[in-house]
Structure 1
Amino acid sequence: MKKPYNWNNLIDSFDDCNCPYAYIVGYYLSRFDRDAYKKLGFGNMTETHEKIGSVLEISSNTLKNFRDAFDPYHENSRKGWWQRELWRFEKEIYEGFKVYSEEELYSLVCNILNNPKRNFEDFFEFDYSRVADNNTIFPDEVREIEETIILKEGSIRQIKVNAYERNNQARKKCIEYYGTNCYVCGFDFENVFGEIGKDFIHVHHLIPLSEINQEYEVDPIKDLRPVCPNCHAMIHRKNPPFTIEEIKNLLNTNN
Structure 2
Amino acid sequence: MLNKIKLWKSTNAPSSLRDRIDHVKKSGVPSHVAIIMDGNGRWAKKRAMPRVAGHHEGMKVVRKITRLANELNIGALTLYAFSTENWKRPKKEVDYLMQLPEEFLGTFLPELIEHNVRVKMIGTREGLPSHTLRAIDKAIDDTKDNTGIILNFALNYGSRAEILDAVKQVIKDCQSGIMSENGLNEEVFSSYLMTSDFDDPDLLIRTSGEIRLSNFMLWQLAYTEFWFTDVLWPDFGEEQFLDAIEAFQSRQRRFGGINGQK
Query: TM-score if structure 2 supplies the norm length?
Result: 0.28
Q: Would you tell me which structure has more strand in proportion to its own residues? A: 2
Q: Would you tell me which structure has more helix in proportion to its own residues? A: 1
Query: TM-score if structure 1 supplies the norm length?
Result: 0.29
Higher relative contact order (CA closer than 8 Å, sequence separation 6+): 2
